[in-house]
Amino acid sequence: MDYNVIVGICVFAGLMALIFIGVPVFTSMLSAAFIGFVLLSKGSLTLMMTKFSTAPFDLSANYNFAVLPMFMLVGALANETGIAHSAFASMRMWLDRVRGGLLYTVIASNAAFAACSGISVAGNIVFAKLSMPELKKAGYEETNSLGLITASGALSTLIPPSIGIIMFCLIAPMSLSVGTALMGGVMPGITTALLLAVTVRIVGSAKKGSIPKASDAPKIPMKKKLSSLRLLLPILFLFGIIVGGTFAGFFTATVAGAIGAVAVMIYAFMKKIPLKRIFGTLWEAANMESGIFPIIIGGQIFGSFIAATGIANYLSTAIAGVDAAPFAVFMLVALLYVLCGCVMDMISIIIITVPIVFPVLTGLGYSPYVLVIVLCFMCEIAGLTPPLGMNVFAVSNAIRISPSVIFKGVLPYFICELGIVILIALFPNIVLWLPSLLGVPGVGG
């Protein structure tokens, strides 16, 4: 085995060990990259100094990465303006009288809110606070309800505009169209929403008492139901601007984020949101970005080290040598992501693993756009696993409840979403159908 590959494997193992013992991801990646470059240079500090001095500036000066704070601002302002509340109110009018209707409402409103939030944690926090009081009042079992709320946040990773998909396209080791990748998430998002609803039905049948009888509230006139759909207009407008404009090529994803932020800011002024709350939202978005950007810098430097070792090429050659079935390799990658999710957040997983697994899987014939969707979704699913479980802890902190309660309730929905990943791996047209229908060239495997 080549010296560089051995160094790469050892340093990667060291990185995972640092993260497992609780060293912050940013510090772990920089430390591992520092040691790795020194080992690759056999004691010389020149390569390390070059990478550590140029990479932070190059990344900070990269205009494309302005897309992240813009979309974070869109999601934060969308929450502040009550868009999520409006989606929940509209969906509830249509679904409340069905048995399990409030849980279906959680799924549907999460799907609607995903069209402007871009990040699952936002949906987790908003709908935990918004729906749990209503679910308790209606007699729904707490554990099952919390599990669904947590798992439904994954819809924001699939339904555009998804920050995870955008991030993936920015750091992928090949040029990818952000608009095409975002469109590729639409059908998997719809599929996930439908199968989560099926899982609700299965859990309700298998676990007696988890779902109460259908509501006996007065029937809502159809005219009022149709009228409630106007509450979704701000979401549809934002979706049309951001995703439609990006996909059509009118502007880049970065510009789309800025346009979306301006549009939702105008909506906030129309709703007469106090300036103090708007400035608070701006500060919240800035804080979120300040927590993510150092990880991106560390990840880019570590990614440069991984590329220098040639691990991806080595793995590709090794897999080809043993004639491993592509699906078997894919499932091993899925297992890796679940394990990473035990200790890392989504952005960290993407940054650390993509330089290694993306070339391997594309070399096995998987479409890069299918991989964008599936690997982003796997990162999201990994956020449901203990001990870290970022999405679980987001809900736990939002409503002050023990994470262990949520981990118990989320299991059937975790299995459901893992099944969707397998479904996409077996039937990649779930991702590729819509971009192909819209005439996008080069989206095939």
Query: How many Å apart are CA 7 and CA 224, to the nearest integer?
Result: 65
Q: Residue 316's pLDDT is what?
A: 61
Q: Residue 105's pLDDT is what?
A: 93
Q: Residue 444's pLDDT is what?
A: 56
For 31-64, letters b (16+ CB in 10 Å) and e give bbbbbbbbbbeeeeeebbeebbeebbeebeeeee
DSSP for residue 218: P
Residue 264 · residue 72 · CB < 8 Å: no
Query: How many Å apart are CA 391 and CA 151, to the nearest integer?
Result: 8
DSSP for residue 162: P
Residue 303 · residue 355 · CB < 8 Å: yes
SS3 445: coil
Residue 168 · residue 389 · CB < 8 Å: no
Nearest to 177 by CA among 435, 363, 361, 358: 435
Residue 148 · residue 107 · CB < 8 Å: yes
Residue 341 · residue 379 · CB < 8 Å: yes
Query: How many Å apart are CA 2 and CA 99, to the nearest integer?
Result: 61
Tally Cβ neighbours within 10 Å of residue 137: 9
Tens digit of each residue's pLDDT, the chain (445 residues):
688 889 988 988 888 788 778 788 788 888 998 999 999 988 888 878 888 888 777 777 777 677 778 877 887 788 788 888 888 889 988 888 888 889 999 999 999 888 887 778 778 888 888 889 989 988 899 999 999 999 998 998 999 888 888 888 887 878 888 888 988 999 999 999 999 999 999 999 888 878 888 777 778 888 888 898 888 888 888 888 888 888 777 887 778 888 888 988 998 998 888 988 888 888 877 876 777 678 778 877 887 787 788 876 776 667 656 667 888 888 888 887 877 776 666 777 777 778 778 888 888 888 999 999 998 898 888 888 876 677 888 888 888 888 889 999 999 999 999 999 999 989 999 999 988 887 766 665 4
Amino acid (1-letter code) at residue 266: I
SS3 351: helix
Query: How many Å apart are CA 369 and CA 407, to the nearest integer?
Result: 31
Query: How many Å apart are CA 353 and CA 173, to the nearest integer?
Result: 11
Q: Residue 145's pLDDT is what?
A: 94
Which residue stretches of 81-141 are H helix? 83-95, 101-117, 120-138
CA distances from 97 to 58, 91, 141, 224 (A): 55, 11, 18, 15
Sequence ranges of the domains in the chain: 66-296+320-437
Q: What are the tokens at 374?
A: 């599936």
Which residue stretches of 21-66 are H helix? 25-40, 46-60
Q: Residue 203's pLDDT is what?
A: 93
SS3 364: coil
Q: Residue 243's pLDDT is what?
A: 81
Q: What are the tokens at 411?
A: 């299991």
HSE at residue 283, side-chain half, CA atoms within 13 A, is 6
Place of tokens 């990748």: 181
Nearest to 299 by CA among 35, 47, 11, 56: 56
Q: State the Rg of the chain over Cα.
A: 22
Q: Residue 196's pLDDT is what?
A: 96
Sign of the alpha-carbon dihedral angle for 396, 397, 401, 402: positive
Query: How many Å apart are CA 334 and CA 348, to the nearest integer?
Result: 16
Residue 156 · residue 118 · CB < 8 Å: yes
Q: Residue 344's pLDDT is what?
A: 66
Q: Residue 345's pLDDT is what?
A: 66
Q: Residue 146's pLDDT is what?
A: 94
Nearest to 285 by CA among 59, 62, 66, 57: 66
Q: What is the pTM of this model?
A: 0.79
Query: How many Å apart are CA 314 and CA 307, to the nearest integer?
Result: 11
Q: Residue 343's pLDDT is what?
A: 60
Query: How many Å apart are CA 410 and CA 404, to the nearest integer?
Result: 10
